[in-house]
Amino acid sequence: MKISKTNRRILLLLFAIAGYTGLHVLFINTPSILDRAAPLAVALPLMPPLAAWVILRRIAAGHEGGARRFWQLLGLSCLFCTGAQLVWGVLYLEADGVVHSPNYADFLWNLQSFTLVAAFVYLFGKHRNKYRGIRYLLDTMTVIMVGGTLFWVYVVSPGLWVFWETKTVFEFLITALYPVYDFLALAGLAALFFGYRTFLSTGAWLALAVALLLFGIADGIYALLTHRGGNFSESWTASLLGIGLLLFPLAGMLPRGRPESPPVMDEELYSPARSQARTFLPAVSIVVLIGCALDQIEQWNGVMIGGALTVAIIVIRQMVVLRENEALVQQSRHLLERYEYLANHDPLSNLPNRRYFELRVEETLARREEQEAEARTVVIIVDLDRFKYANDTYGHAAGDRIICQVAERLSAVVGNRGVVARQSGDEFAILLEGRYDRLDLQEWAQRLQRSLSRPFHLAERVEFLMTASLGITVAEPGEAASDLMRNVDLALDKAKSQGGGKAVFYTEELSEAVTRKLEMEQALRRALEQDELRLHYQPQVSAQTERIVGAEALIRWQPRSGAMISPAAFIPIAEETGLIVPIGEWVIRTACLQALQWFGEGLDAFQISVNVSSRQFQEADFAAGVLRIVEETGLPPDRLVLEITESIAIQDEGDAIVKLLAIKNAGIQIAMDDFGTGYSSLGVLKRFKVDKLKIDQTFVRDIGGNEEQATIVEAILAMASSLKMEVIAEGVETAEQYRFLQARGCGWIQGYYFSKPLPADQFGSAYVRKR
């Protein structure tokens, strides 16, 4: 079985503790070795504090905030101990093995003890706001009081008063107060352990507690031996100090506790073992204290026996009541845990949901801001490009299976290096923290996309392929979570607008583009209200007679102040926002009224063509709206031509046929615009009862010098002739293109060869009033 690097270090440290203990006992039990090798007596006590200081420095570097300072203070305590041992060693060699206290080493040992207490006081003060109520504080005080009493009576008191009577005040303070420091540190550790959830595991707390207990025992024996004139360094108990020092880095190497991350419940709801310890340790401590008190009584009587039994019964009763309460609390805990889980997780994928994810983002940003850490906060949004198609084709059960498989794959890629959440139906979010540059994040994006490019298994022998679009953003200093989520959504929108399967990083230009789009949307609404829209008309000419037979109405936007805005700039925004619906109605109505005016001025055998957007066609009352406009304007229905695109045919063919038949039945004609650039078939043309085909200008542009394009145009003309459909070639700009189309029987010509789109008055002057 392979052992992890951390576990190997822990085992190595345990072997070091055992080896140090064995060597120390060997030297103590073999005086001849010390006589011949006095430097060993100096070097051996130096090893534990020095090793502990080196290891604790590395452990502190792996933590942040208050935890880092705690381990640094413990390391500083070990460093003072190293200095004290070194000074003591020099004195030991100079005095031939006889060192009297107090001495210079005692000053450093006092600093060591003081720093040790300061470490726990600092951590307690850092997290004082996390205490969970007076009950836990009282439990802590009970255990500390009992422990302190026993520690005082059996460890400190035997030598303390003797020191007070036989030594000066300075000697007393510098030599005899080590056990007091140890007790204060142990009290601080107990308060921390009982008071709140922490970054340490139970094993780490236990290692620290054993270390402090060993310090207390060693320092207590040191005080006694010093008073009696004994040599502590030649006592086996001196090894307890070294073992305790090595337990500090061992505590730091042990696995960390459960990380604190909102939203979470009190650790009480997650740690039954610690809860039981809090419940029973105070009672057990009282029982132990009573036993020790009874041991001090020299003569028993009935009152004492009855009182002791009564106290024992009260303690037992209290423990039973607490156990019953604990059972009730456990039931509440399970319910709270379940509610907490449901509130923060998606029930289908078992991933965290949007609420939990956004809280984690806020917490991460706040922590980075507080600690000024170099690690970067990265958010990635993953959107499945063809998920709706899978849902519509195979059903929602298949869609659910895809979601579960996506969750598994993303979790496998991210692992424990980040958080994966399900944002919505087919959208997932990933939170990363680390020192990532752009290349690193590009590799992340590639791994994520590769994981989702493999087939998804929907049923036996049924697989489905998808791509994923990714939006990626890196938090800037001081950036709010809401801004971060908005930015990553902008990056995702950009990725999807590029056709899917892309990963796009957020840039300032995306925000600027959104701002410009919003400003244009607002301006477009005002333009519709303030009559800033205009129609230009491009003539359609018979290829055989060169007589004008129709015109296409083309929208323009002329702000009251400023240059005219191209349709390419505002039509996509109108489509996206839905403004294209009222704009489209305005175009049809205006074109019909204008055509009716020209008819009255003598322009007969003339048809007006109007483009219909896909978004406009999707409206449920589209056909009824067109018929209503024709009726209200009085335009003969056969004079109106609606130009649709091939994309309409592939969205909802059944609905499209119903609408087009209603329009056709009223006499209005249908033209298929941009024919040849989409996906329509001859069957679609027949089912839609199309009257005219418009050859896209991309085919017309190169018919003079491109045989392939010329062949396509000839094929379209031949097909239209067989289907008895009129053909309109748009984008005709040269005489060569015109003659080519005329020779092959093209019906209508439209393009700059005859005229550019003209305002209504110029069109009337050029083609109506000349007649």
pLDDT digit string, tens, across residues 383-406: 998 888 888 888 888 889 999 999
pLDDT at 42: 67
pLDDT band of residue 264 (cuts 50, 70, 90) is very low
Q: Please, which pLDDT band fits residue 325 given cuts at 50, 70 and 90?
A: confident
- Residue 197 predicted with pLDDT over 60: no
* Cross-strand pairs, 609: 552, 641
How much is the pLDDT for 263?
A: 37
Sign of the dihedral through C-alpha 708, 710, 712, 715:
negative
Q: How far apart are CA 695 and CA 232, in angstroms?
A: 104
What is the average pLDDT across 586-604?
A: 90
Cα–Cα nearest to 753, from 736, 767, 766, 771:
736
pLDDT average, residue stretch 97-106: 68
* Side-chain-facing half-sphere of 734: CA atoms under 13 Å: 10
Query: Which three-class secondary structure state does DSSP give residue 348?
Result: coil
**Greatest pairwise CA separation for the chain in angstroms:** 138
Q: What is the mean pLDDT of the chain?
A: 79
Three-class secondary structure of residue 223 per DSSP: helix
The tokens describing 358, both together, are 């956004």
Rounded (5°) CA angle 487-569-472: 20
pLDDT at 268 over 60: no
Q: Is the pLDDT of residue 269 over 60?
A: no
* pTM greater than the 0.85 cutoff: no
Of the given ranges (252-266, 396-410, 424-438), which has the lowest mean pLDDT?
Answer: 252-266
Is the pLDDT higher at 128 or at 115?
115
Phi, psi at residue 351, to the nearest 5°?
A: -90, 160
699 in Cβ contact with 689 (< 8 Å) = no
pLDDT at 261 over 80: no
Higher pLDDT, 445 or 41: 445
| pLDDT, mean of residues 626-644 | 93
Spell 476-501 as b/e; 16+ CB within 10 A means b: eeebebeebbebbbbbbbbbbeeeeb
At 409-429, the pLDDT tens digits run 999 999 888 999 998 889 999
For the stretch 288-302, pLDDT in tens is 766 666 666 666 666
Residue among 656, 678, 660 at smallest CA distance from 669: 660
Over range 236-264, report the average pLDDT: 67
Of the two residues 448 and 28, the one the predictor is more confident about is 448
- The bridge status of strand 456-459 relative to strand 462-464 is antiparallel
As a whole number, mean pLDDT of residues 722-726 equals 84
Per-residue pLDDT, 472 = 93
Segment 69-78 shows an average pLDDT of: 88
β-bridge partners, 726? 692
Give the DSSP H/E element, type plus range, for residue 10: helix 5-29
8 Å CB contact between 226 and 216: no
pLDDT interval class at 266 (50, 70, 90): very low
Residue scoring higher pLDDT (184 or 635): 635
Q: What is the pLDDT of residue 216?
A: 73
pLDDT of residue 632: 93
Boundaries of every domain in the chain: 9-260, 354-506, 524-768
Average pLDDT estimate for 660-672: 91
Give the per-residue pLDDT at 141.
62
d(Cα 506, Cα 489) in Å, to the nearest integer?
9
Name the percent of the chain lying above pLDDT 70: 73
Tokens of 729: 């070639």
The C-alpha atoms of residue 689 and residue 723 are separated, in whole angstroms, by: 10
Range scoring the smallest mean pLDDT among 86-95, 315-324, 578-587, 667-676: 315-324
SS3 state of residue 464: strand
Residue among 664, 671, 649, 658 nearest 727 (CA): 671
Q: Is 466 helix (H, G, I), strand (E, B) or coil?
A: coil
Do 595 and 637 contact (CB within 8 A), yes or no? no
With b for 16 or more beta-carbon neighbours within 10 A and e for fewer, the 608-632 pattern comes to: bbbbbbebbbebeebbebbbebbee
Q: Quickly state the pLDDT bin for 130 (edges 50, 70, 90).
A: low
Beta-bridge partners for 759: 536
Q: What's the pLDDT tens digit per position in 5-36?
A: 566 667 777 777 777 767 666 665 565 555 55
At 260 the pLDDT is 43
> What was the pLDDT predicted at 262?
39
Q: What is the DSSP string of 112-139?
A: HHHHHHHHHHHHHHHTGGG---HHHHHH
Distance from C-alpha of 248 to C-alpha of 212, rounded to nearest angstrom: 9
Q: Is the pLDDT of residue 581 over 50?
A: yes
Confidence of residue 164 (pLDDT cuts 50, 70, 90): low
Q: Considering the domain 524-768, what is its CATH architecture?
A: Alpha-Beta Barrel (3.20)
At residue 95, the pLDDT reads: 67
Residues written for the chain? 771
Instruction: Name the band, by pLDDT with cuts 50, 70 and 90, for residue 766.
Output: confident
Q: How far is CA 660 from the centre of its chain?
A: 48
655 has pLDDT over 50: yes
Span 225-237, average pLDDT: 59
* Residue found under tokens 């590769």: 450
Q: Per mean pLDDT, which of 159-173, 679-693, 705-719, 750-764 is the most reliable?
A: 750-764
354-506 and 524-768 agree in CATH topology: no
Domain 354-506 belongs to what architecture? Answer: 2-Layer Sandwich (3.30)
User: What pLDDT band is residue 267 in, cutting at 50, 70 and 90?
Assistant: very low
- In this prediction, residue 207 carries a pLDDT of 82
Where is pLDDT greater, at 528 or 309?
A: 528
d(CA 370, CA 68): 14
Distance CA 522, CA 501 (A): 32
User: Is 50 exceeded by the pLDDT of residue 1?
Assistant: no
340 with 263: CB under 8 angstroms? yes
**What is the average per-residue pLDDT within 51-65?**
83
With cut-offs at 50, 70 and 90, classify the pLDDT of residue 159. Answer: low
Cα–Cα distance, 517 to 568 (Å, whole number): 13
